Amino acid sequence: MKLRSLAGALAATVALPFGAANATDLEVTHWWTSGGEAAAVAELAKAFDATGNKWVDGAIAGSGGTARPIMISRITGGDPMGATQFNHGRQAEELVEAGLMRDLTDVAEREHWRDIVKPSSLLDSCTIEGKIYCAPVNIHSWQWLWLSNAAFEQAGVAVPKNWDEFVAAAPALEKAGIIPLALGGQPWQAAGAFDVLMVAIAGKDVFEQVFAKKDEDVAAGPEIAKVFKAADDARRMSKGSNVQDWNQATNLVITGKAGGQIMGDWAQGEFQVAGKKAGVDYTCLPGLGVNEVISTGGDAFYFPLLDDEEKSKAQEVLASTLLKPETQVAFNLKKGSLPVRGDVDLAAANDCMRKGLDILAKGNVIQGTDQLLSPDSQKQKEDLFSEFFANPSMTPEDAQKRFAQIIADAD
Amino acid sequence: MTGLTRGSARPNQWLRNLNAKIASIPMILTAVVIFLGGTLWTVVYSFTNSKLLPRLSFVGLDQYERLWAAPRWIVSIQNLAIFGFFSLVFSLVIGFVLAALMDQKIRFENTFRTIMLYPFALSFIVTGLVWQWLLNPQYGVQSIIRSLGWESFSFDPLYDADIVIYGILIAALWQGTGLVMCLMLAGLRGIDEDIWKAARVDGIPMWKTYVLIIIPMMRGVIITTLVIIASGIVKVYDLVVAQTSGGPGIASEVPAKYVYDYMFLAQNLGQGFAASTMMLLTVAIIIVPWAYLEFGGGRKRG
């Protein structure tokens, strides 16, 4: 008897916290762990906590490549989190097809996502068979060249205005003991840099023919050969940057040890955390200063299907919080990315973000490779380019042949 | 084990040692369901085009054709061969020499043994990180020697695609030889003192005693050691991830990493399964003939 009442009392104390407060804990996994990223994600948590729920942070360190397998195995293994980040596009495609993800169409219709999300391709990437499965939170574009003004001053050359000037300035930088181009060793960085070169040098149409239409003849053709020539230059210029992570490479630029880096606009957050000012301490060239086109990949939150009704409700709250104008502004300013809605005011945006917003407003956008290619093709491409950038004996012609083969096999 | 009958009734064969049999059921189930079942499942699905989730749509040998056409897989196999050969040879030789030295009734033997075995207590990730720093040209050996005055000294194996696998080998040997030494030492201690005395009486030089008498007598220990080293070689993964993550480029990739990357990063289970089946096949090609010689043929040795 005594034991039973004790057990009852214990059960009551366990149940109490759930019953008393109607706050629901929602675990959110993501891979935003560098300085600028962590500051940005704290804004999301703040906004969600303000709705009376609780954001349980599930940061997974080590970039998307490490985090995604953990997220996927948790979802497929029957231990889903409340919400999780993916790059929107094809990364979660099969999880949706297997019925493991939650349909957000109701929330999206209630809040008119169709009207507010710009460009609309972001929402298209969330849509599978007419239903919306993710909430886009930002637009990240890859096509940026970040330059350290201090490094060029030290080398005694003017800060380049485009890729060709940058290549021409490389010998002067080298003479001053500066690595011209910082490139981290992680495979996705090499593959991403190549995609950027492709848009800048061969242009938007070629990019779309290769990655969207998967035209292998174009991939093997003379336009892409020019891109491989440029990649060959980049390979020579990146020699000596013995770092792994992208933010370490960005740090080389911030500290003036490297001249520049081809990296997405998330690098901007690092410059901000380091207290650097756009236009004064560093310069950014969208589309490498050649072809001002930006890709509109980015991050989105997906919501696994949960049995718990409370949590399902909290998921809806989170989804709508993510797209609120205030959240969008606070988050994207810290993150260095662009908001997904065209109607918010980014008065505090800096020089570089303004350039990005202008290009976005002009509609010079392409889809990101995450949206166009399957993770399988992406990985093959990463293997190819990490080999190409590390191995000077691999000729651009050989690499192009293999590249065309990957495009031919892409699904 | 014959004639152990209780009472007059002949006991059922199946019920003999019933307790022991019941007790071993969980292990048998584990072995059959998890090891054997998992292996068969993997092999079957390696013939499908499973992407993120396994599905049974067979594509024949496509995954294998793609695997053997992938330059990264070829590099992985070559690396495994180089790494395997040298780590087998060096850890056996160094381990044995250390054990033989240790066996000379030296002082502070316990202390030395502990020091030698200590690296083995570290995980591969820690070993990998330590050696990543040691071999880093900016912080490690190279910068120390340069700061001593040899300005032109250059030692950065992890950043040179041609020799990166040897940089990984150094770390693997540092970690693994201590264990080999201990196993060998145990083997040496198991040899009867009289054999040494007899050899000395016959005037056989010491190195000859080792090579011709002691080593053949240590056959059992050496085979155990070989199996331990070999299994460590095939599964090498964390060391590479910690030291180079496969770089520079793809120069230090290994098969286990290919399997992981394609299963989870590329979301292509079929390709990952094909690669892991090839790894299984490699192990089988080495193990099966040896196991046949060792346990089969009805002949007992040693």
Does the structure show a pLDDT above 60 at B253?
A: yes
Q: Which two tokens stand for residue A378?
A: 């992406």
Q: Are residues A320 and A246 in the same domain?
A: no
Is B72 in contact with A383 (Cβ distance < 8 A)? yes
Quote the CA–CA distance of A30 and A66 in Å, as a whole number.
11
CATH number of the domain within which A305 lies: 3.40.190.10
Q: Are residues A183 and A262 in the same domain?
A: yes
To the nearest whole Å, the CA of B76 is away from the closest chain A CA by 12
Nearest chain B alpha carbon to A67: B265
* Cβ within 8 Å of residue B86, ≥6 positions away: B166, B169
For A25, A74, A232, A307, the CA distances from A83, given in Å and listed in that order, are 11, 12, 41, 14
Is B261 in contact with A391 (Cβ distance < 8 A)? no
Residue B266 CB neighbours (<10 A): 22
Domain presence at residue A368:
no
Instruction: List, for residues B208-240, the tens digit of each pLDDT value.
Output: 888 888 888 888 888 889 888 888 888 889 999
Q: Which two tokens stand for residue B4?
A: 């152990």
Nearest chain A alpha carbon to B53: A94
Domain presence at residue A167:
yes
Nearest chain B alpha carbon to A379: B266
Q: Are residues A319 and A266 in the same domain?
A: no
Q: Measured between CB atoms, does B271 come within 8 Å of chain A?
A: yes
pTM, whole model, 2 decimals? Answer: 0.81
Residues of A in contact with B264 (CB under 8 A): 68-69, 72-73
Domain presence at residue A39:
yes
Q: Are residues A211 and A344 in the same domain?
A: no
Q: Are residues A202 and A329 in the same domain?
A: no
Domain presence at residue A367:
no
CA angle A103, A105, A111 (to 5 degrees): 135
Q: Are residues A10 and A88 in the same domain?
A: yes
Q: Are residues A161 and A217 in the same domain?
A: yes
Q: Are residues A150 and A210 in the same domain?
A: yes
Is B271 in contact with A94 (Cβ distance < 8 A)? no
Domain presence at residue A400:
yes
Selected residues 147-186 of chain B with any CB under 8 Å from a CB in chain A: 159, 161
Domain presence at residue A349:
yes
For residue A5, the model assigns a pLDDT of 52
A65-71 contact pairs (CB < 8 A, 24+): A65/A186, A65/A188, A65/B265, A66/A31, A67/A29, A67/A30, A67/A31, A68/A31, A68/B264, A68/B265, A69/B264, A69/B265, A70/A29, A71/A29
| Single-letter residue type at B231 | S
**What is this model's ipTM?**
0.78
3-state secondary structure of A30: strand
To the nearest whole Å, the CA of B163 is away from the closest chain A CA by 13
Q: Are residues A398 and A351 in the same domain?
A: no
3-state secondary structure of A147: strand
Domain boundary among A342, A362, A382: A362
Quote the CA–CA distance of B264 and B253 in Å, as a whole number.
16
The partner residue sitting opposite B52, judged by closest CB among A95, A380, A383, is: A95
Domain presence at residue A380:
yes
Strands (E), A149-213: 179-182
For residue B76, the model assigns a pLDDT of 93
- Based on DSSP, count helices (H) and strands (E) in chain A, helices before strands: 21, 13
Domain presence at residue A340:
yes
Q: Measured between CB atoms, does B238 come within 8 Å of chain A?
A: no
Q: Are residues A99 and A233 in the same domain?
A: no
Would you write out chain A's pLDDT as a tens digit for each of its 411 residues?
455 554 544 444 444 444 334 578 899 999 998 888 888 999 999 999 998 889 999 999 877 778 888 998 899 888 999 999 998 778 888 888 888 999 999 999 998 888 888 788 888 888 888 899 999 998 888 999 999 999 999 999 999 999 999 999 999 999 999 999 999 888 899 999 999 999 999 999 999 999 999 999 999 999 999 999 999 999 999 988 888 888 889 999 999 999 999 999 888 888 888 888 888 899 999 989 888 898 888 899 999 999 888 888 899 999 999 999 889 988 988 888 888 887 887 777 778 888 888 898 888 888 888 888 988 999 999 999 999 998 888 999 999 999 999 999 887
Which residue range is the domain that position A114 belongs to?
Answer: 3-140+297-362
Share of chain B above pLDDT 90, in %: 37
Is A242 in contact with B271 (Cβ distance < 8 A)? no
Q: Are residues A229 and A301 in the same domain?
A: no
Task: Give the count of domains, chain A.
Answer: 2
A306-336 exposure pattern, b = at least 16 Cβ within 10 A, e = fewer: beeeebbebbbbbbbbbbbeebbbbbbbbbb
Q: Are residues A262 and A149 in the same domain?
A: yes
